[in-house]
Amino acid sequence: MKETSTTNINVELLDRSYNILIAAGLLKNCVNEITRVISPHCRKIVIVSNKKIFTLYGNIPSQNLKKLGYQPLHFLIGDGEKYKTLATAEKLFTFLIEQRLERRDALIALGGGVVGDLTGFVAATYLRGIDYIQIPTSLLAQIDAAIGGKTAVNHKKGKNLIGAFHQPKLVIVDPNVLITLPKRELVAAIYEVIKYGVIADEKLFYLLEKEKNNILARNIELLTEIIISCCKAKAGIVSRDEHESGERQILNFGHTIGHALETITNYKHFKHGEAVGYGMIAATLISNQLNLINDEQTRKIISLVKGYSKLPSVKGISLETLLEIMRQDKKSLAGQLTFVLPEQIGRVIIGQRVPINVVHQVLQTL
Ligand code: GLY
């Protein structure tokens, strides 16, 4: 397994500031870093994970915590979005109460976005808030979900409807764990990496173009470089706009149509990143229709998205129903939908109102 030196990125949020530590091989040596950020009176640390991830990666941090005199416990949840619910959170609350966790104690989220969001939500609300640490094990969580303090569980009427902003005390990213990530999840996360390229980082965009094959072959140095670029971008955005009143909205590029595609297919047909892939293609075409981005840049964005892998088919999805879902969205206003649109690679505008007939026209071409 590769080992690289550690990159430290700070999310600056006054007294809630924290570091994102990134290095191949970090998981083996992260316990000292964890003990530095939690309460000196902490005794119990619960690692929340799922069976597959805990079996692969849970033992070392758990044993190392024990050696340092902590009482490590673990709580495993089911694998997949359908477990990100209040019912699972309630089971975790019960476990924490039974194990008598106190306010000085802490949780560790070891897993992908589902584990991270749910653990963060429970940490935000148990005893009115306890510390938690993110150890993301999927590429999507490493570049996005684990950073920024958005925690949530789903409600049957919609995704992430119940949640809180609660920042972690530390994020530990070890790119070596991506070796065991299923290929489809890796590729789906790459669409979100492309998103960072389009919204904020032209250099990253061209790296993704040039190194496609090496990235798909999971070259750890390249994956590390990509993760560092995304985490730097996200840390900056979150530091400037923690509660998404402005700039943080740029992270929603590709999400207006992406979310509608996930909803219409009941979250079963697309991985989140794949739906965002379609959403980015559509938003770029819309921007081009409105003369906000030129033809050459439009072509480059679309071919990068399409070039990484074949997106799942949209055959059979009703355009009318899709538009209806978007109309019901809180961002819809008087026959117009709100989009994040690219102006050029590395720069987007937020809050752009687009007439529904333009969206309709573009979606028809997909
Ligand atoms: N995942 C989008 C955000 O953190 O704002």
Percentage helix, strand, coil for the chain under 3-state DSSP, each rounded to 5? 55, 20, 25
The response to whether residue 117 sits with its C-beta less than 6 Å from ligand 1 reads: no
Tokens of 299: 């072509």
C-alpha 148 to ligand 1 mean position (Å): 7
C-alpha 251 to ligand 1 mean position (Å): 6
216-220, 228-232, 289-293, 324-328: segment of lowest average pLDDT: 324-328
Say how far apart CA 352 and CA 200 lie, in whole Å: 17
User: Count of alpha carbons within 13 Å of 361, Cβ hemisphere only?
Assistant: 11
User: Count of alpha carbons within 13 Å of 362, Cβ hemisphere only?
Assistant: 21
315 as an active site residue: the answer is no
Q: How far from the centroid of its chain's Cα atoms is residue 29's Cα?
A: 24
For residue 335, is pLDDT > 80? no
Say how far apart CA 321 and CA 323 lie, in whole Å: 5
Q: What global pTM score does this model have? A: 0.95
Residues 6+ apart with CB under 8 A from 94: none
Which residue matches tokens 């640490």? Answer: 133
Q: Please tell me which residue in 84, 169, 195, 255 is annotated as part of the active site.
A: 255
Express as a percent the part of the chain with pLDDT over 90. 90
Determine the pLDDT at residue 330. Answer: 59
Probe target for ligand 1 pocket from 252, 255, 262, with the most ligand atoms within 8 Å of CB:
252
300 as an active site residue: the answer is no
Determine the pLDDT at residue 198. Answer: 98
The response to whether residue 271 sits with its C-beta less than 6 Å from ligand 1 reads: no
C-alpha 243 to ligand 1 mean position (Å): 10
Residue 184 confidence class, pLDDT cut points 50, 70, 90:
very high
Q: What does the mean pLDDT of the chain come to?
A: 95
Q: How far is CA 122 from CA 53, 65, 130, 236, 263, in A?
A: 20, 21, 9, 26, 25
Determine the pLDDT at residue 175. Answer: 98
Determine the pLDDT at residue 358. Answer: 95
Mean pLDDT confidence for 229-252: 97
16 as an active site residue: the answer is no
Mean pLDDT confidence for 154-163: 88
C-alpha 63 to ligand 1 mean position (Å): 33
Answer whether 105's CB lies under 8 Å from 122's CB.
Answer: no
Determine which residue's CA is closest to atom 3 belonging to ligand 1. Answer: 251
For residue 323, is pLDDT > 70? yes
Q: How far is CA 230 from CA 23, 151, 204, 216, 344, in A?
A: 14, 19, 9, 17, 18
Determine which residue's CA is closest to atom 2 belonging to ligand 1. Answer: 251
For residue 331, is pLDDT > 80? no
C-alpha 136 to ligand 1 mean position (Å): 15
pLDDT tens-digit profile of 108-152?
999 999 999 999 999 999 999 999 999 999 999 999 999 999 999
150 as an active site residue: the answer is yes
Tokens of 36: 């530095």
Mean pLDDT confidence for 35-52: 98
The response to whether residue 144 sits with its C-beta less than 6 Å from ligand 1 reads: yes
pLDDT tens-digit profile of 275-316?
999 999 999 999 999 999 999 999 999 999 999 999 999 999
Answer whether 91's CB lies under 8 Å from 25's CB.
Answer: no
| Burial group, residue 185, by CB count within 10 angstroms (0-12, 13-18, 19+) | middle
Mean pLDDT confidence for 16-26: 98
Residue 332 confidence class, pLDDT cut points 50, 70, 90:
low
Answer whether 171's CB lies under 8 Å from 227's CB.
Answer: no
**10 vs 267, which has greater pLDDT?**
10
User: Count of alpha carbons within 13 Å of 256, Cβ hemisphere only?
Assistant: 32
Express as a percent the part of the chain with pLDDT over 70. 98
Say how far apart CA 126 and CA 118 lie, in whole Å: 12
Answer whether 133's CB lies under 8 Å from 146's CB.
Answer: no
Determine the pLDDT at residue 267. Answer: 85
32 as an active site residue: the answer is no
